[in-house]
Amino acid sequence: MLELYYSETCPYCKKVISNFDNQKIIYKPMDVTLRENYERLLGLGHMSQVPFLYDTDKDVKMYESDKIIEYVEKNYRAA
């Protein structure tokens, strides 16, 4: 499962979300304005930066919108 940690006010997050939606990528949105999601983000990535992707199946964690998009397009192309 892909968990995407985001903030609605972050333009880089919007870029990733738009790409995921256009590519029909299935992911779990994790709004960091919710305390439990924010704390999970800190526990996984150790920084409060968004967007942050956690691929739970492959234990891959990453920041940076372009890297996230590239990773997902390479590994999770929509069927």
For residue range 7-44, list pLDDT tens digits in order: 999 999 999 999 999 999 999 999 999 999 999 999 99
Nearest to 50 by CA among 36, 71, 72, 29: 29
For residue 62, what are its two tokens?
A: 């990453």
Domain boundaries, the chain: 2-75
Model pLDDT, residue 45: 97
- Rounded to whole angstroms, how far apart are CA atoms 20 and 77? 10
- CATH annotation of 2-75: 3.40.30.10
Question: How far apart, in whole angstroms, are the C-alpha atoms of residue 38 and residue 32?
Answer: 4
State yes or no: pLDDT of 78 exceeds 60. Answer: no
* Omega of the bond leading into 51 within 30 degrees of 0 (cis): yes
